[in-house]
A = this chain, B = another copy of it.
Amino acid sequence: MRVMTVILFAGVWICPAMGQKPVPMGAAQVAQEVRDYRLDNEDRIVRELAEFISIPNVASDTPNIQKNADHLVEMLEARGIEAHLLPITGRGPVVFGKLITPAATRTVIFYAHYDGQPVDPAAWTDGTPFEAVLRSDAIEAGGKRIPFPENSAKQPAVYKDEWRIYGRSTSDDKSPIVALLAALDALRAKQIPLGVNLKVIFEGEEEAGSTNLAHTLELHKNLLAGDLLITADGPVHQSGRQLVFFGNRGDIGLDITVYGAVRALHSGHYGNWAPNPAMELSRLLASMKDAEGRVLIDGYYDDVTPLSELEKKALGEMPANDADLERELGIAKSEGSGKKLVELLQEPSLNIRGLQSAYVGEHAQNVVPDKAEASIDARLVKGEDPQKKFEQIASFIKKQGYFLTDHEPTMEERRAHALIARVVDQGGYRASRTAMDLPVSKALVKVVETATGNDTVIAPTLGGSVPMYIFEDLGLPWIGVPIVNYDNHQHSSDENLRLGNLWRGMEVYATILADLSW
């Protein structure tokens, strides 16, 4: 036991069969062995996830985000993975881990993030975003809160596939980390050797735009030698099937504030004389897109790099499930003039993610508001530059007659300009894509297909954004292998994980670690 500890600390994975070179096991068999292990250990895995969820993880909450990082180091070291914290001033560090497999010639790096989107506890059904709550199904499907099952050595707790764990980052993105580490535990328990060296990069500010990731990794470039990066972020396909994706959209955020009078005014004494910023903002936003959702901003679609023939083919082979989705989500008519969802994800988007002006409902006050705010995000596809996209939007606002500023307007500016918009660039990053015909791309698809019984959807691009351009810049091909349910309320309240997805995720990750070769 003592020897084991020492060796594990050095970050080396010892083949359990006393140094003999093992015969690699087939991907399907690995998946089965991992499943057997999991059936005996579900409680341990769920408890590890629940404990991880209980540490609040909004990127700007520095003390708590640091606690998450420290906790991750413990989780890694418990598996004998050599762990380092790569510090970032004022934010959570990048957690780096390394596990050497003596005979391996390839190194696979897993990327995930341990921070989560901001929370509004009042908007959560259970009111507790940082407490793992077990439910018998999704809330939308009538899932009820249930106690965690009893567990003992004699009678291990059984968690049903359709049960869900609710809590911030249950899906985005803590459970993939737990799945990876549980996969390692399973391989060790079943004495299945790893086929590759493993490195991990767990980021602490992905939901805050990954502003420092590129710089931090550049500083520690010597740690990052590898042959493939797998991103464990994002949901699987809406059909519920496993997903492998080769690209993702970039993302920029901006806040627009439109100003009225310097203070909110009584709507009786000043209404229809004082300019109403909520009305002006509505007019501005409405002018940005047509009724079908097409963006009307000059040059908005000009820089898109077209898909390759292979990518087009993959797109064509993706399951068409728009009608199911519309039914499930209560959508009578989607945007995009009849284009399919997967087609639309190949285009840049413009989305109002929030609106705010004075108060509504029972809190409404009879005022002409002094300002109105919109928060916008735009998703970028391959070929588009984030800064240029921001400028296209800003120029459009200017063309609509607005005086643009990056600060609260002065009294002189207010008196001089009928329309004033404060436009704040919250930054962002570009899209990226890995070629689908690289040997590693083909090998990975094959392993995942086998592990899932040929039940995998292959996508040229994901709609969401992960800062994969950073790894592209480091010369690493990257591929996405997400595991969580698509209906996880990612970024919103009531975020949740379907447990069946955690179980399958373990099998997929274990199979990659044991069987991927090219």
Contact = CB atoms under 8 A, between A and B. Distances in A.
B354 A358 contact: yes
Given A356-B356, A362-B118, A274 B329 contact: yes
A20 interface: no
A490 interface: yes
A386 B279 CA distance: 22
B355 A372 contact: yes
A464 interface: yes
A363 interface: yes
Given A359-B375, A366-B251, A418-B332, A266 B354 contact: no
A510 B79 CA distance: 86
A114 interface: no
Interface stretch (A219-227, A257-265, A308-316): A257-265
Given A268-B465, A273-B336, A355-B278, A415 B326 contact: yes
A335 B283 CA distance: 15
Given A330-B411, A489-B263, A492-B367, A377 B271 contact: yes
A237 to B, nearest CB: 10
Contact of A358 (B289, B355, B464): B355
Contacts of A414: 330-332
Interface string A274-291: 111011011101110101
A379 interface: yes
Which of A333, A335, A364, A494 has the most CB atoms of chain B within a 10 A radius of its CB? Answer: A364
A344 interface: yes
Interface stretch (A92-100, A345-353, A443-451): A345-353
16 contacts: A140-B263, A235-B266, A255-B360, A263-B489, A265-B492, A266-B491, A270-B463, A271-B377, A272-B293, A282-B283, A282-B285, A282-B352, A286-B286, A332-B414, A332-B416, A355-B360
Interface of A: 60, 117-118, 120, 140, 234-235, 248-249, 251, 253, 255, 260-276, 278-279, 281-283, 285-287, 289, 291, 293, 326-327, 329-336, 341, 344-345, 347, 349-369, 372-375, 377, 379, 409, 411, 414-418, 462-465, 486, 489-494
